[in-house]
Structure 1
Amino acid sequence: MNKLLPILTVVVAIMVVWYAAAVGMNKKWALDQAERAGISLSTGALISDTWSQDRPRLPAPHQVVAELWKSTGGMVIKGKPFSKRSLIFHGWITLSATLAGFVIGTSAGILLAVGIVHNKAMDMSVMPWAIASQTIPILAIAPMIIVVLNSIGVQGLIPKAIISAYLSFFPVVVGMVKGLRSPDHMQLDLLRTYNASGSETFWKLRLPSSMPYLFTSLKIGMAASLVGAIVGELPTGAIRGLGARMLTGSYYGQTIQIWSALFAAAILAATLVGIISLIERRMLKRMGAA
């Protein structure tokens, strides 16, 4: 209970601010409609109206929750979980690109990190380029990647996966390099005393020592990969995926739809990061590190 109380306090504070902001941002429409109808709204009626508009500037929390349920659980009850109006369908499309990009980015990041740690030339050449690559805004490079790949007939999942990999590989590179270099000189000298080879030093010392760093970077990489998948859906005018759902909502002024897609993405990211955390705890426990 002591751990839950601070969390609940923050959640309640966010809800209070959110509901108050919804009144402030949506009251102009309510007052304009009342003026046109020649009626006067009481404070209670004004608040009720601002929390129940079909196309509010800022939807109230219960409107977002209702839309989430309607487009997930409601679709399951109707037997249409993969309908084009279902967030389960759109979430699956985004999840596929996220996981593909995460696997590509993580694999590339780990391989680059190993090369950087064991090869001074790569350390001097590759690492600066890896850092420089992250200075390019993803919103600028995503359309370029999609256009180039479309010109050679590559469409669908692969362009989004490449954009996801672009965002996810960097934290893995940095975290893995830090982890592989975490053993101190005494530990390395001890293995040299035992006449351990470079590969034995890597497998028995460097790699186990890097696990906490790796899992931390994997959590960041997973969240970044999801962002990359959503960003990859925006410039294409896609009709499938959480990014496409947000885009469609912006076209038609469906702010509740936009917010429900945003929350679906946040829930998806939290779930994926939670799975990595679970794997981390079990693996480190087996290694005796936690």
Structure 2
Amino acid sequence: MSSHTLRQHLLPVSVVVLIGLLCWYLLTIGLNAPGTIARVLPKDGSWGWQALVESTLSMSRPVLPAPHQIVADIWVSLTHWPITSPRNLLLHTWVTASAALTGFAMGVVLGLLLAVLIVHSRTLDRALLPWIVASQTVPVLAIAPIVLVILGSLGITGMLPKAVIAMYLCFFPVTVAMVQGLRAPQKLEMELLHTYGTGQLDTFFVLRLPSSLPFLFPAFRVAIASGLVGTMVAELPTGAQAGLGSRLLTGSYYGNTVQIWSALVMASLLGVGLTALVSLIERMVMKTRSAR
């Protein structure tokens, strides 16, 4: 990529980021100002706007923390504590990521299986697809405690219940995309393979599966992000000792908004990283397919 092309890509992103940071700082000053005036600054009013701005951007428990406070909190968490410490965000990130990836894998397997059954059986198409769509109308906040209680009564605890919640959110986009992808081949292509006496299994691997890849990988990106959300939601009602969801819960208990936002930022970075990983795998697979 040339320097001119790189500038064309970076300039719009940089402008948006700078505008976002400016709006964030202005919002931080506006939201924190009433508490600063009431509890921090002298009551006699012997202070100027500089003191007000400085105080709003350095509160220990702000309504909205400033970006530099969040960055500083993440830096201290990563550098001042061992990776096995509950105060290190990497530990919580790994716990959440492992459950999200496990749920994603389970959701992909379930979604692919359901899609194959739906495409190859008209009866299952009519029987399963409406229920699959209806399943996504139930909010994950409502279903998560129910699933956790049921699995807990069976003695299933730890990572697996969170992975099941993640799977619940992952399988739907994979199923819908895979159904569309498996039905993508043209009728002429299907008839051509039929004239060669190709069976359903060979047709699936030679024609249907390759045709579904452009539909499948975008669904994977949606699914991995949804699985991460489901994992964090599942960590909230369990009172988990580790995970970004538990970090959010602990911060809300003690009114530590900086900790809450630090966990949110780490969750966002984790989501971006997982989505980028799926995109990298997509490029590798599609490149290999094009080479063939």
Count of residues in Structure 1 that have an aligned counterpart in Structure 2: 286
Displacement after TM superposition at 1:100 (Å): 1.0
1:45-194 equivalent positions in 2, closer than 5 A: 45-72=51-78, 74-75=79-80, 80-194=82-196
- Asked if structure 1 preserves the Cα contact closer than 8 Å seen for 2:41 and 2:52, the reply is no
Letter in 2 for 1:101: G
- Asked if structure 1 preserves the Cα contact closer than 8 Å seen for 2:95 and 2:243, the reply is yes
The match for 1:267 among 254, 266, 269 is 269
The match for 1:233 among 232, 235, 258 is 235
Displacement after TM superposition at 1:197 (Å): 1.4
1:37-52 equivalent positions in 2, closer than 5 A: 37-52=43-58
Where does the alignment leave 5 or more consecutive residues of structure 1 unmatched?
A: none
Letter in 2 for 1:81: I
Task: Provide, for residues 42-101 of structure 1, a one-character-per-residue CA deviation record: whole Å limited to 9, x for no partner.
Answer: 1111111111100000000111111111112x14xx5x1121100011111111111111
- Asked if structure 2 preserves the Cα contact closer than 8 Å seen for 1:19 and 1:60, the reply is yes
Counterparts of 1:191 and 1:179, CA distance in 2: 18
Residue of structure 2 in register with 1:6 after alignment: 12
Residue of structure 2 in register with 1:288 after alignment: 290
Counterparts of 1:39 and 1:251, CA distance in 2: 33
Displacement after TM superposition at 1:2 (Å): 0.4
Task: Provide, for residues 183-211 of structure 1, a one-character-per-residue CA deviation record: whole Å limited to 9, x for no partner.
Answer: 11122122222222111111011100111
Displacement after TM superposition at 1:282 (Å): 0.9
Residue of structure 1 in register with 2:37 after alignment: 31
- Asked if structure 2 preserves the Cα contact closer than 8 Å seen for 1:249 and 1:257, the reply is yes
Counterparts of 1:272 and 1:35, CA distance in 2: 44
Counterparts of 2:46 and 2:29, CA distance in 1: 17
Where does the alignment leave 5 or more consecutive residues of structure 2 unmatched?
A: 1-6
TM-score normalised according to structure 1 size: 0.95
Task: Provide, for residues 121-174 of structure 1, a one-character-per-residue CA deviation record: whole Å limited to 9, x for no partner.
Answer: 111011111100000000001001111111121111111010000011101001
Displacement after TM superposition at 1:34 (Å): 4.9
Counterparts of 1:41 and 1:193, CA distance in 2: 87
- Asked if structure 2 preserves the Cα contact closer than 8 Å seen for 1:31 and 1:41, the reply is no
Letter in 1 for 2:248: M
Measured on the aligned residues, the alpha-carbon RMSD in Å equals 1.4
Counterparts of 2:284 and 2:41, CA distance in 1: 62
Residue of structure 1 in register with 2:211 after alignment: 209
TM-score normalised according to structure 2 size: 0.95
Counterparts of 1:35 and 1:223, CA distance in 2: 43
- Asked if structure 2 preserves the Cα contact closer than 8 Å seen for 1:97 and 1:158, the reply is yes
